């Protein structure tokens, strides 16, 4: 038995153990460890594929893929652990809020020292409990500040007919386009 088969067999075994552990365990951290074990098995298989024999040097492409895969695996693991930690914090906040009285029965604090979305007991309200603010009512008849309403280049009166304007295109007063 040579090194190529040893690395290949170990890689397949590691991949199978990682896949089995991924399917069996419910904890997110254990599933993350299982994915990393399966990834290690794939790396072993790539190294086994790179072997060309005793007389020839190994293929550098699988080795480069393994190095890149290690970097990506470490980064993805760090991201997954950070997300898992954040999920656990949110779950802890939800259970703490659930053990207190429901948010609908708590009076909202209105003092200037506290925020409007903070109940009087000092606990913050969960994001799901917040209702979106109504957008301010905007009139379609009023233009934005600094912009004049236009219809074919002319301002409209309240009745919708074009208004006579003595203002030129440069803002000067006069006869409009007939000024010379």
Beta bridge partners of 167: 173
Domain ranges of the chain: 3-100
Q: How many helices (H) and strands (E) does the chain have?
A: 3, 0
Per-residue pLDDT band for 37 (boundaries 50, 70, 90) equals: very high
pLDDT tens for 101-158 read 555 555 555 555 555 555 555 555 555 555 556 665 655 556 566 665 555 555 555 5
Q: Which among 124, 122, 156 is positioned nearest to 141, based on CA atoms?
A: 156
Considering the entire predicted model, what is its pTM? 0.52
Residue with the two structure tokens 């301002």: 155
Distances 58 to 40, 67, 69 between C-alpha atoms, Å? 19, 15, 18
Phi, psi of 167 (to 5 degrees): -95, 130
Q: Which among 102, 118, 99, 101 is positioned nearest to 110, based on CA atoms?
A: 118
- CATH number of the domain located at residue range(s) 3-100 in this protein: 1.10.287.3510
For residues 135 and 126, the answer to whether their CB atoms sit within 8 Å is no
Q: 106 or 20: which carries more pLDDT confidence?
A: 20
Q: Provide the pLDDT for residue 115.
A: 52
């Amino acid at each position: 038995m040579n090194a190529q088969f040893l690395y290949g067999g170990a890689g397949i075994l590691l991949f199978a153990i990682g896949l089995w552990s991924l399917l069996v365990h419910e904890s997110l951290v254990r599933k993350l460890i299982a994915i990393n074990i399966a990834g290690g098995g794939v790396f072993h298989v790539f190294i086994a594929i790179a072997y060309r024999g005793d007389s020839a040097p190994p293929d550098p492409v699988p080795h480069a893929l393994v190095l890149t895969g290690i970097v990506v695996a470490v980064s993805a693991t760090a991201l997954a652990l950070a997300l898992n930690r954040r999920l656990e914090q949110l779950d802890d906040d939800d259970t703490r809020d659930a053990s207190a009285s429901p948010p609908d029965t708590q009076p909202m604090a209105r003092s200037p020292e506290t925020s409007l979305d903070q109940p009087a007991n000092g606990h913050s309200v969960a994001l799901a409990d917040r209702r979106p603010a109504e957008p301010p009512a905007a009139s379609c008849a009023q233009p934005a500040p600094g912009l004049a309403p236009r219809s074919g280049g002319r301002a409209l009166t309240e009745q919708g007919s074009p208004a006579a304007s003595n203002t030129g295109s440069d803002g000067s007063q006069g006869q409009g386009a007939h000024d010379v």
